[in-house]
Protein backbone atom coordinates (compact mmCIF):
# COMPACT_ATOMS: atom_id res chain seq x y z
CA UNK A 1 0.00 0.00 0.00
CA UNK A 2 1.18 3.52 -0.80
CA UNK A 3 0.67 5.56 2.38
CA UNK A 4 0.72 9.33 1.84
CA UNK A 5 1.06 11.37 5.02
CA UNK A 6 0.28 15.00 5.59
CA UNK A 7 2.94 16.75 7.69
CA UNK A 8 1.51 19.52 9.90
CA UNK A 9 -1.15 18.19 12.25
CA UNK A 10 -0.54 14.58 11.25
CA UNK A 11 3.11 13.72 11.82
CA UNK A 12 4.06 16.83 13.79
CA UNK A 13 2.43 19.45 15.99
CA UNK A 14 3.80 22.57 14.32
CA UNK A 15 1.49 25.05 16.02
CA UNK A 16 4.23 26.94 17.86
CA UNK A 17 6.34 27.64 14.78
CA UNK A 18 3.43 28.47 12.50
CA UNK A 19 1.69 30.75 14.97
CA UNK A 20 4.93 32.59 15.74
CA UNK A 21 5.66 33.03 12.04
CA UNK A 22 2.19 34.33 11.21
CA UNK A 23 2.21 36.80 14.11
CA UNK A 24 5.67 38.03 13.14
CA UNK A 25 4.60 38.44 9.50
CA UNK A 26 1.38 40.29 10.30
CA UNK A 27 3.28 42.68 12.57
CA UNK A 28 5.84 43.24 9.79
CA UNK A 29 3.13 44.52 7.42
CA UNK A 30 1.22 46.44 10.09
CA UNK A 31 -1.76 44.10 10.27
CA UNK A 32 -3.68 43.30 13.47
CA UNK A 33 -2.59 40.20 15.35
CA UNK A 34 -5.16 37.40 15.42
CA UNK A 35 -5.88 35.01 18.27
CA UNK A 36 -4.98 31.34 18.58
CA UNK A 37 -8.45 30.12 17.67
CA UNK A 38 -8.38 31.95 14.35
CA UNK A 39 -4.77 30.94 13.73
CA UNK A 40 -5.65 27.24 13.78
CA UNK A 41 -7.39 27.75 10.44
CA UNK A 42 -4.03 28.75 8.95
CA UNK A 43 -2.69 25.20 9.23
CA UNK A 44 -3.52 23.52 5.93
CA UNK A 45 -4.22 26.21 3.32
CA UNK A 46 -1.42 27.94 1.37
CA UNK A 47 0.03 30.98 3.16
CA UNK A 48 -0.80 33.34 0.31
CA UNK A 49 -4.44 32.30 0.56
CA UNK A 50 -4.60 32.98 4.30
CA UNK A 51 -2.63 36.24 4.15
CA UNK A 52 -4.80 37.34 1.25
CA UNK A 53 -7.94 37.00 3.32
CA UNK A 54 -6.53 39.03 6.21
CA UNK A 55 -4.89 41.66 3.99
CA UNK A 56 -7.89 42.14 1.67
CA UNK A 57 -6.07 40.71 -1.31
CA UNK A 58 -3.39 43.43 -1.30
CA UNK A 59 -0.78 41.57 -3.37
CA UNK A 60 2.18 43.73 -2.29
CA UNK A 61 1.43 43.30 1.40
CA UNK A 62 0.71 39.60 0.95
CA UNK A 63 4.09 39.04 -0.69
CA UNK A 64 5.81 41.08 2.03
CA UNK A 65 4.10 38.97 4.68
CA UNK A 66 5.07 35.72 2.93
CA UNK A 67 8.69 36.91 2.73
CA UNK A 68 8.70 37.84 6.44
CA UNK A 69 7.24 34.44 7.32
CA UNK A 70 9.87 32.67 5.24
CA UNK A 71 12.71 34.50 6.93
CA UNK A 72 11.33 33.84 10.41
CA UNK A 73 10.78 30.18 9.56
CA UNK A 74 14.32 29.83 8.20
CA UNK A 75 15.81 31.37 11.35
CA UNK A 76 13.89 29.41 13.97
CA UNK A 77 10.38 28.37 13.01
CA UNK A 78 11.33 25.18 11.20
CA UNK A 79 12.59 23.61 14.43
CA UNK A 80 9.65 24.68 16.60
CA UNK A 81 7.52 21.56 16.39
CA UNK A 82 6.84 18.36 18.32
CA UNK A 83 6.38 14.87 16.96
CA UNK A 84 3.02 13.51 18.07
CA UNK A 85 3.17 10.65 20.61
CA UNK A 86 3.21 7.17 19.03
CA UNK A 87 3.83 8.55 15.52
CA UNK A 88 7.42 7.22 15.28
CA UNK A 89 6.30 3.72 16.28
CA UNK A 90 3.34 3.80 13.90
CA UNK A 91 5.42 4.97 10.94
CA UNK A 92 8.04 2.30 11.69
CA UNK A 93 5.38 -0.39 11.90
CA UNK A 94 3.86 0.59 8.56
CA UNK A 95 7.29 0.56 6.90
CA UNK A 96 8.14 -2.80 8.47
CA UNK A 97 4.87 -4.21 7.14
CA UNK A 98 6.04 -3.42 3.62
CA UNK A 99 4.03 -0.28 2.91
CA UNK A 100 5.58 2.52 0.86
CA UNK A 101 5.53 5.87 2.66
CA UNK A 102 5.66 9.43 1.33
CA UNK A 103 4.88 12.90 2.67
CA UNK A 104 2.38 15.15 0.88
CA UNK A 105 2.26 18.63 2.40
CA UNK A 106 1.00 22.11 1.58
CA UNK A 107 4.04 23.53 3.40
CA UNK A 108 6.38 24.94 0.76
CA UNK A 109 9.38 22.79 -0.03
CA UNK A 110 12.06 25.01 1.59
CA UNK A 111 10.09 24.83 4.85
CA UNK A 112 9.18 21.14 4.65
CA UNK A 113 12.54 19.69 3.63
CA UNK A 114 14.53 20.57 6.77
CA UNK A 115 11.77 19.23 8.99
CA UNK A 116 11.50 15.95 7.09
CA UNK A 117 15.29 15.59 7.09
CA UNK A 118 15.49 15.99 10.86
CA UNK A 119 12.63 13.68 11.79
CA UNK A 120 14.08 10.60 13.52
CA UNK A 121 11.95 8.48 11.22
CA UNK A 122 12.29 10.70 8.14
CA UNK A 123 14.40 8.12 6.31
CA UNK A 124 11.36 5.83 6.16
CA UNK A 125 9.63 8.16 3.67
CA UNK A 126 10.58 7.56 0.04
CA UNK A 127 9.59 11.00 -1.23
CA UNK A 128 8.40 14.42 -0.18
CA UNK A 129 5.75 16.24 -2.20
CA UNK A 130 5.51 19.97 -1.50
CA UNK A 131 4.83 23.09 -3.59
CA UNK A 132 7.55 25.52 -4.61
CA UNK A 133 7.86 28.83 -2.74
CA UNK A 134 6.63 30.88 -5.69
CA UNK A 135 3.23 29.25 -6.01
CA UNK A 136 -0.02 30.72 -4.74
CA UNK A 137 -1.55 27.25 -4.88
CA UNK A 138 -0.66 23.99 -3.19
CA UNK A 139 -3.36 21.57 -4.22
CA UNK A 140 -3.25 18.27 -2.40
CA UNK A 141 -5.10 16.62 -5.28
CA UNK A 142 -2.30 17.48 -7.74
CA UNK A 143 0.39 16.19 -5.42
CA UNK A 144 -1.49 12.98 -4.68
CA UNK A 145 -1.91 12.43 -8.43
CA UNK A 146 1.84 12.97 -8.88
CA UNK A 147 2.60 10.43 -6.16
CA UNK A 148 0.32 7.83 -7.73
CA UNK A 149 2.08 8.31 -11.06
CA UNK A 150 5.59 8.28 -9.59
CA UNK A 151 5.05 5.08 -7.65
CA UNK A 152 2.90 3.43 -10.32
CA UNK A 153 0.17 2.92 -7.74
CA UNK A 154 -3.48 2.33 -8.50
CA UNK A 155 -5.82 4.53 -6.44
CA UNK A 156 -7.21 1.44 -4.73
CA UNK A 157 -3.70 0.64 -3.49
CA UNK A 158 -3.12 4.02 -1.83
CA UNK A 159 -4.33 6.01 1.18
CA UNK A 160 -3.99 9.67 2.13
CA UNK A 161 -3.66 10.31 5.86
CA UNK A 162 -4.30 13.81 7.16
CA UNK A 163 -6.00 16.08 9.67
CA UNK A 164 -7.69 18.65 7.43
CA UNK A 165 -10.35 18.60 4.75
CA UNK A 166 -7.75 19.48 2.10
CA UNK A 167 -6.13 16.08 2.62
CA UNK A 168 -9.41 14.23 2.33
CA UNK A 169 -10.74 16.27 -0.60
CA UNK A 170 -7.49 15.62 -2.46
CA UNK A 171 -7.85 11.91 -1.80
CA UNK A 172 -11.48 11.84 -2.93
CA UNK A 173 -10.60 13.65 -6.16
CA UNK A 174 -8.08 10.91 -6.92
CA UNK A 175 -10.38 8.03 -5.84
CA UNK A 176 -7.97 7.28 -3.00
CA UNK A 177 -9.11 6.36 0.51
CA UNK A 178 -8.77 9.33 2.83
CA UNK A 179 -8.04 8.53 6.47
CA UNK A 180 -8.71 11.46 8.77
CA UNK A 181 -6.87 11.90 12.07
CA UNK A 182 -8.21 13.67 15.15
CA UNK A 183 -4.99 14.69 16.93
CA UNK A 184 -4.27 17.57 14.54
CA UNK A 185 -6.01 20.81 13.58
CA UNK A 186 -9.25 19.51 12.05
CA UNK A 187 -12.22 17.85 13.70
CA UNK A 188 -14.48 14.89 12.99
CA UNK A 189 -17.20 16.98 11.34
CA UNK A 190 -14.74 18.59 8.93
CA UNK A 191 -13.21 15.26 7.98
CA UNK A 192 -16.50 13.41 7.58
CA UNK A 193 -17.98 16.22 5.50
CA UNK A 194 -14.92 16.10 3.22
CA UNK A 195 -15.54 12.38 2.63
CA UNK A 196 -13.10 10.55 4.90
CA UNK A 197 -13.39 6.79 4.48
CA UNK A 198 -12.35 6.30 8.10
CA UNK A 199 -11.09 8.34 11.03
CA UNK A 200 -8.34 7.56 13.54
CA UNK A 201 -8.50 8.97 17.04
CA UNK A 202 -4.92 7.88 17.83
CA UNK A 203 -1.88 6.88 15.72
CA UNK A 204 -1.95 3.26 16.84
CA UNK A 205 -5.21 2.80 14.88
CA UNK A 206 -3.62 3.68 11.56
CA UNK A 207 -2.04 0.33 10.76
CA UNK A 208 -5.39 -1.47 10.91
CA UNK A 209 -7.17 1.30 8.99
CA UNK A 210 -4.55 1.18 6.24
CA UNK A 211 -5.19 -2.54 5.86
CA UNK A 212 -8.86 -1.68 5.47
Res 108 pLDDT > 70: yes
d(CA 148, CA 67): 32
Domains of the chain from N-terminus onward:
2-13+81-211 (3.40.50.1000), 15-79 (1.10.150.240)
Which of the four pLDDT bands, split at 50, 70 and 90, describes residue 137?
A: low
Query: What is the reported pTM?
Result: 0.84
Res 77 pLDDT > 70: no
Q: Is 145 left (phi over 0), alpha (psi -120 to 50) or beta?
A: alpha
Reported residue count of the chain is 212
Could you read off the pLDDT of 10-43 as tens digits, one per residue? Answer: 999 988 888 888 999 999 999 988 888 888 888 7
d(CA 180, CA 186): 9
Buried b (16+ CB within 10 A) or exposed e, 137-152: ebbbbbbbbebbeebe
Amino acid sequence: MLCLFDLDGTLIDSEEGIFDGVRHSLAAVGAPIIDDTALRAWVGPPLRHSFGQVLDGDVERVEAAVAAYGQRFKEAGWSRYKVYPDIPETVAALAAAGHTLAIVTSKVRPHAEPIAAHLPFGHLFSRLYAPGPETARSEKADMIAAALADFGSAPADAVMIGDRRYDIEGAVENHVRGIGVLWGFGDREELETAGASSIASKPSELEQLVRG
